[in-house]
Amino acid sequence: MEDELIPRLPVDQESIDFGEWHIEYFKSHILKSICSKGQDAHCNKDEDDCCELCTYRNALELPHLPDMVFHKNKLVLTHRDGASLEFLPMESLRLVENGKQPLQVACAQEWKESRPESLMEEKFKPFDWTFTTDYQGTPNEKFNIEKTEQQLNKFKLMQREKILFYHDLTLFEDELHDNGISSCSVKIRVMPSGFFILLRHFLRVDNVLLKIHDTRFHYEIGNNYIFKEFTMRGASYEELKSVPPPYFTIPNEIEQHMPIKKKETYKLIFK
């Protein structure tokens, strides 16, 4: 019985000191789907012992959360001068439209026409049920962020290098009631020349559309900044009808066939 009272610690944690950077990830189980007080209970915001589920509910105010929220998963990069860049599940979900403003997702009408009426009451609610987010990470105030015309150094990133540190973290995932997938994940790899991070939101609504929101970060040893590239890709199934169907489930394959709708590049200057 006493063992049950011990808080569950993250099942995985690893770090590396890389030059002037300390890089660390935390990985753990998914957020429970039931309040600690019971099936239909809900902790109040002001309660000292508010459970983890209700902490998320209260902070986000979404009609419901994704099927799987990895609430303790996070990636943190900290420079010795104080600059910090984090990747956090709650912050990614804060950018999901929650019904406070009128919203019509791009595929709504077509989706509604292709589904039985019985599904509509449960599924089509006044918030973005696809959990689309354009989250781009959480830098602290120590960074000076400037727009730039510089482009991602793909040639450098394609060179074969020893991988000093690598991890792939899921922040959240939802199967859209078996009608597709919406997932947000972050990957990092550290090489002798620097580090590269890919933060990706991937959305597939079966037989309707696909979206990929990517934020790439590239730091090269010797620079006083991290380069950042944000891209938004999107296409309907009709626009992708010549693409082999198996590619639709593989983001790295399908992205090559999806047009870029928006692209922004920045320098995150840390000293």
Q: Which is more confident, 183 or 54?
A: 183
Q: Residues 116-136: pLDDT tens digits?
A: 554 444 444 567 889 999 999
Provide the residue ranges of all domains of the chain, joining segments of one domain with +. 13-269
pLDDT surpassing 50 at residue 104: no
218-232 as b/e, with b when 16 or more CB fall inside 10 Å?
A: bbbeeeebbbbbbbb
Residue with the bigger pLDDT between 247 and 121: it is 247
For 248, half-sphere exposure in the C-beta direction (CA atoms, 13 angstrom radius) is 22
* pLDDT at 115 (0 to 100): 56
Does residue 109 carry a pLDDT above 60? no
Which H or E run contains 154? helix 154-158
- CA angle, 111 as apex, 62 and 135 as ends, to 5°? 40
Distance, in Å, from the CA atom of 93 to the CA atom of 128, rounded to the nearest integer, reads: 11
Average pLDDT, the chain: 88
